[in-house]
A = this chain, B = another copy of it.
Amino acid sequence: MPWDLNSDRPIFIQLIEKIQIDIISGKYAPGDKLPSVRELAQKASVNPNTMQKALAELERTGLVYSQRTSGRFITEDIGMIEQLKTELAEKVITEFLGDMQKLGYQKKETLSFLTELIESDCQQSS
């Protein structure tokens, strides 16, 4: 479990994003119990406090909730998860369009390029 310790992005932020992805992708289903702070920290090779910080932030946004003595759980509010999924997607898309613009592709060009690439891909692989 390698972490970009060198990256300028704080580890706890990376942890937050990783867990968000795991929730969105369904690795952790709504209502599921998360492993304990200590366990998650060990798996990620980070200090328990760092993992705690990440989880506290996730709790603040409502994605997970904690029960004092029994552990942390994924929210059962599916709408919230869907919303998060959309938000993250928009972020990824915005970044993508920016990269393409740097390469000289305007939005519509990007779109047609992508369309073409996906359609030819579909004919091959599926």
Interface, chain A (partner B; CB < 8 A): 4, 6-8, 21, 24-26, 60, 85, 88-90, 92-93, 96, 99-100, 102-105, 107-108, 111, 113-115, 117-118, 121-122
Contacts and interface: CB of A to CB of B under 8 A. Distances in A.
Given A24-B103, A107-B121, 10 more contacts: A24-B104, A25-B104, A85-B103, A92-B99, A92-B100, A93-B113, A93-B117, A96-B99, A107-B118, A111-B114
Contact of A103 (B7, B92, B103, B111): B92
A108 B114 contact: no
Nearest to A105: B89
Contact of A6 (B8, B24, B102): B8
A102 B25 contact: yes
